[in-house]
Structures are given as C-alpha cells and as structure tokens.
Amino acid sequence: MVDQSNLNEKEENQTMKIVTLCSSGSCCPVVKIAETQVEIGEPGNLCVLTMEQWQTLKERIVKEEA
C-alpha cells in the first residue's frame, strides 16, 4: 500500500519553485512560488500572496511603480 500523503507532498514540491534571496544561504528570505500562492520571507516574517497579487506585484516592479 502506498502512503498518499507522501505522494501529495512530493507532487507539491515538484511544482513549487524556491528562490533564495542571498548567496550565502543562511538567514536569507526566500520566495516560494506554488500553484495557488507565493510566500515571501522567512520564519516569523512571512508574506503570503495570491497568484493575482503576485502578478500585480511583478507588473508594478517591472513598470517601476513600486
């Protein structure tokens, strides 16, 4: 018998992109991009955006409105 919870967790990890915002890899905020939301930050200081909010943020940065 296969443990479905492990399969779902693996599938989620395969679709999630993680970007570290510094080169040293320690104490750095990360951006986790999943199918339905984007998390920006680090433990204790985390911002969760919907995909619509994420798209708006990206557009405003590219247009230099931020």
Scan for tokens 């920006």, then name that residue: 40
pLDDT at residue number 25: 54
Q: Whole-model pTM?
A: 0.67
Burial of 19 (0-12, 13-18, 19+ CB in 10 A): exposed
Q: What is the pLDDT of residue 32?
A: 95
- The C-alpha atoms of residue 48 and residue 57 are separated, in whole angstroms, by 12
- Segment 11-38, tens digit of pLDDT: 445 588 998 888 765 678 899 999 999 9
